[in-house]
Amino acid sequence: MNGAIEDPGEYLRRYLDERKTVIDEAVRRSLSRYPSPLREMMIYSAEGGKRLRGTVVLAVSGYLSCTRASGLPFTACKPGEEGFRDLPFASEAPSVVSNANDMKGHNQGKGERVGTTADLHEDALDLAVAVELVHAYSLVHDDLPCMDNDDFRRGKPTAHRKFGEAMAVLAGDGLLTAAFEVGLGDASLPPERRCKRARACAELARGAAGMVAGQVFDMEAKGKRLGPEAVKRIYLLKTGALFESAARIGGILAEAGAKCLDALGAWGREFGYAFQIADDIEDAEATSSAEDDTLVAETSIQDAAEEAVLALRRSLDYLTPFEHPGETWFLSEISRFYLSRLNVLFTASSGGTGESG
């Protein structure tokens, strides 16, 4: 990508750290109104993590609103698809000017119909929190003895180890419910903002349903050899679906058109798939053994790394229409960052050049 900064790893670290701080504070605020002890259990369960999914919401909404305001054209279609040039948004009416780097408030100008930059940032931050609360709920329930039966999560005891199994179930229920309360926002919001938030929450519900379906398939697969294709289906649902929704939510808030949303969703699906494989590989290397029901166990570290590399390349293909010379975009850089790491791993394991597929 032209104009990319010299150290993508440092860029990503700083970008994620900044967004994580903002999202962490917003998560805590959103849960502070719940009664004790539910409040403490929900906050405990929602703390930690990279906030990667929430950051995707902020990055997409900020980038697209900034791109539209600047009048930069791009092709909002799937790779190889023709006929959708310069149609990234549902309307060509002027919109807000948004700075994707600091996202500071801006007064609404004449003819702007979406609202102030502060409004867009508020909506995006609330939906970023909503996505993170759904993710946190899924981890609480996945860790339960009846599911994966894990003792530690994010460097501390899992919720059921800390509070007991029944309380962990209730904490997860509370997080899921809170996600949609935060995402929909206050009833006093203007109708156009309520409509966008409702669309975003519907998208979040679809992502959450896909995630649950993936967990169902995962539970059915316990103790069985599934084969790579079945594992891929689980990964695309269990991990890819929420990344897909996060990217589409950012586009919905920026009033992107259907083809733009499809391309964003495809990036999220492919990136989420590769992200899960990379996580499996890291676990396998740390423990010198692969967990059951993973792509690494079904194939090998080398084959799994190659599959993830191909998925990340596909994710970058979907982002090509959005890139402009001199710009660095979080979605591109995070895909490239994981691609670089996995290419190194693939090269080391294969003794080749790192070129896979």
pLDDT tens, 172-187? 999 999 999 999 999 9
Domain assignment present for 37:
yes
Domain assignment present for 60:
yes
Percent of the chain with pLDDT over 70: 78
pLDDT-derived band of residue 85, with 50, 70 and 90 as boundaries?
A: very low
Angle (nearest 5°) at CA 14 between 356 and 61: 80
So what's the pLDDT on residue 53? 98
Q: How far apart are the first and last CA of the chain?
A: 21
So what's the pLDDT on residue 84? 30
Between CA 247 and CA 267 the distance in angstroms is: 8
pLDDT at 82 over 50: no
Between CA 254 and CA 266 the distance in angstroms is: 17
pLDDT tens, position by position, 213-223: 999 999 988 87
pLDDT tens, position by position, 6-19: 466 787 889 999 99
Between CA 275 and CA 338 the distance in angstroms is: 8
Tokens 């530690």, located at residue: 152
The residues that bridge with 157 in the sheet, in sequence order, are: 152
Tell me the pLDDT of the chain averaged across its residues.
82
pLDDT tens, position by position, 270-321: 999 999 999 988 888 777 666 767 888 888 888 999 999 999 999 999 998 8
Between CA 250 and CA 63 the distance in angstroms is: 9
Task: Phi first, then psi: give them for residue 218, nearest 5 degrees.
Answer: -65, -40
Q: 316 CB contacts (<8 Å, ≥6 apart)?
A: 332, 335, 336, 339
Which of 284, 280, 298, 300 shows the shortest CA–CA distance to 356?
A: 300
Domain count, the chain: 1
How far CA 270 is from CA of 28, 107, 205, in Å, comes to 30, 37, 19
Domain assignment present for 1:
no
So what's the pLDDT on residue 56? 97
Which CATH number goes with the domain that contains 153? 1.10.600.10
For the chain, give the number of residues.
357
So what's the pLDDT on residue 4? 42
Domain assignment present for 228:
yes
So what's the pLDDT on residue 349? 56
β-pairing, 152-153 vs 156-157, is antiparallel
Q: 343 CB contacts (<8 Å, ≥6 apart)?
A: 309, 354, 356
pLDDT at 188 over 90: yes
In what helix (H) or strand (E) does residue 156 lie, and over which residues does it extend?
strand 156-157
Domain assignment present for 274:
yes
pLDDT-derived band of residue 145, with 50, 70 and 90 as boundaries?
A: very high
Structural domain boundaries, residue 84: 9-350
Domain assignment present for 167:
yes
Q: How many CA atoms lie within 13 A of 84 on its CB side?
A: 21
Domain assignment present for 259:
yes
Domain assignment present for 2:
no
The tokens describing 315, both together, are 């994710």
Contacts for 232-237: CB closer than 8 Å, 24+ residues apart: 232/273, 232/295, 232/307, 234/293, 235/272, 235/273, 235/276, 235/277, 235/295, 236/269, 236/272, 236/273, 237/210, 237/211, 237/213
